[in-house]
């Protein structure tokens, strides 16, 4: 089985929490983290907060093997810190052709006026992607420090599928930051939809079983670019929607849930089901609730409206900061994850 987790808005939807929950609760054999270090995924588990930029959040399942594919971009210092923090050195695999960001990319990006103007996170990702396109980026196979982790990850994962094993793919950022389908030029340097995610890994689209598109109960965006219905900072604070980006610490701009964008994200990603996070931000009575029956009536009604408009089942609902704060409806709705 192959399940892909994708962001439906502008990133910050809670993909890390959803992927971490699926990986733990549904017992996947492999977890794959795509994208680059400009996207941080946060989970709170066993009293500790993890903000990860390389390692999949499903590391919390000790039996899950962790994969960084060829389309990803890592940085040696970030990677080294995370494998120590998560104690996962013996179960991490990196593809020979995974891209590596160096200090010169960070410097170049911070001096680039164009990248600054479009809201770059200034982590060296844009400059590294430019070098990759120019065929001059160094890859994982070029670094002695990574030698112990190197494998052909496309072969590894396709063989795992052939053997009936389960693979969970954790996409990064969000649909509308896609280089091709997002709010260009205020986008990232890759395709962040399910199709682009699969391309980064080396798995064909016919092998996918589930595409879970994750939406937050409201919309947030870091940096520049359009945000329909954007609230003034004081209104966002009044609603409890003030957040900071996990990588840059910048304040996220906020707007109410956007059904029009959500419908298009479902289409662009061929969603099979939906996850909603931060329901407790709309309905405080839903805070830390972990069963459908205990959700307040208004919260249930809103979820049912989402299902009616988007025509897909909402199978997972985040209700708090802890990894286990999830209403899991997969069994009730007959969805296998």
What is the tens place of the pLDDT at every residue in 213-259?
Answer: 999 999 999 888 999 999 998 999 899 898 776 666 678 899 999 99
Tens digit of each residue's pLDDT (9 = 90 or more) over 205-215? 999 999 999 99
| pLDDT surpassing 90 at residue 266 | yes
Q: Choose among 168, 151, 175, 178: nearest CA to 203.
A: 168
Q: What's the order of all strands across the beta sheet hosting 326-328?
A: 150-151, 92-95, 65-68, 30-33, 167-170, 2-7, 210-216, 273-277, 314-318, 326-328
Distance CA 101, CA 130 (A): 11
How confident is the model at residue 252, as a pLDDT?
87
How confident is the model at residue 32, as a pLDDT?
98
Listed in sequence order, the residues at least 6 apart from 254 whose beta carbon sits closer than 8 Å to its beta carbon are 218, 219, 220, 230, 231, 236, 239, 241, 242, 243
How confident is the model at residue 111, as a pLDDT?
75
With a pLDDT cut of 70, the percent of the chain lying above it is: 96
Query: Where does 135-247 have alpha helices with state H?
Result: 153-162, 194-201, 233-239
Tens digit of each residue's pLDDT (9 = 90 or more) over 58-96? 999 999 999 999 999 999 999 999 999 999 999 999 999
Tens digit of each residue's pLDDT (9 = 90 or more) over 136-174? 999 999 999 999 999 999 999 999 999 999 999 999 999
Q: Which residues does residue 169 pair with via DSSP β-bridges, in sequence order?
A: 4, 32
How confident is the model at residue 248, as a pLDDT?
62
| pLDDT surpassing 90 at residue 120 | no
Catalytic choice (12, 131, 191, 280): 12
More confident residue, 114 or 6: 6
CB 224 within 8 A of CB 18: no
How confident is the model at residue 92, as a pLDDT?
98
How confident is the model at residue 124, as a pLDDT?
85
Catalytic choice (41, 131, 280, 325): 41
- What is the chain's mean pLDDT, rounded? 93
| pLDDT surpassing 70 at residue 185 | yes
Task: Determine how many CB atoms are found less than 10 A away from the CB of residue 61.
Answer: 21
Q: What is the mean pLDDT of residues 29-58?
A: 91
Secondary element (H or E) of residue 274 = strand 273-277
> What's the pTM?
0.94
| CATH 3.40.440.10 for the 2-96+150-333 domain, yes or no | yes
Q: Is residue 12 among the annotated active site residues? A: yes
| pLDDT surpassing 60 at residue 5 | yes
Q: What is the mean pLDDT of residues 18-35?
A: 96
| pLDDT surpassing 80 at residue 117 | no
Q: Is residue 41 among the annotated active site residues? A: yes
How confident is the model at residue 203, as a pLDDT?
97
Among 33-37, 280-284, 305-309, name the one with the lowest average pLDDT: 33-37
């Amino acid at each position: 089985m192959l399940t892909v987790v994708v962001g439906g808005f502008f990133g910050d939807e809670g993909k890390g929490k959803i992927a971490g929950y699926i990986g733990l609760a549904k017992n996947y054999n492999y977890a794959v983290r795509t994208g680059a270090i400009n996207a941080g995924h946060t989970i709170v588990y066993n009293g500790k907060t993890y903000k990860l930029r390389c390692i999949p959040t499903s590391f919390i399942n000790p039996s899950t093997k962790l994969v960084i594919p060829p389309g990803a971009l890592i940085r040696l210092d970030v990677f080294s810190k995370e494998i120590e923090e998560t104690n996962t050195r013996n179960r991490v695999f990196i593809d020979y052709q995974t891209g590596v960001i160096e200090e010169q990319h960070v410097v170049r990006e911070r001096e680039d006026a164009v990248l600054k103007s479009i809201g770059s996170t200034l982590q060296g990702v844009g400059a590294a992607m430019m070098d990759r396109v120019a065929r001059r980026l160094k890859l994982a196979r070029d670094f002695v420090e990574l030698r112990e982790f190197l494998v052909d990850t496309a072969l590894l994962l396709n063989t795992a599928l052939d053997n009936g094993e389960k693979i969970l793919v954790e996409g990064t950022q969000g649909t509308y930051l896609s280089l091709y389908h997002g709010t260009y030029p205020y986008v990232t340097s890759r395709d962040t939809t399910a199709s682009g995610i699969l391309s980064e890994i080396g798995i064909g689209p016919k092998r996918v079983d589930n595409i879970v598109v994750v939406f937050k109960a409201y919309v947030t965006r870091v940096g520049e670019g359009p945000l329909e219905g954007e609230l003034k900072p004081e209104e966002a604070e009044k609603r409890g929607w003030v957040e900071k980006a996990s990588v840059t610490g910048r304040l996220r701009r906020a707007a109410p849930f956007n059904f029009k964008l959500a419908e298009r994200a479902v289409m662009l990603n061929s969603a099979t089901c939906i996850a909603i996070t931060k329901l407790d931000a709309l309905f405080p009575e839903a805070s830390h609730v972990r069963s459908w029956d205990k959700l307040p009536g208004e919260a249930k009604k809103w979820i049912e409206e989402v299902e009616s408009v988007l025509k897909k089942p909402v199978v997972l609902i985040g209700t708090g900061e802890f990894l286990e704060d999830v209403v899991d409806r997969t069994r009730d709705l007959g969805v296998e994850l």
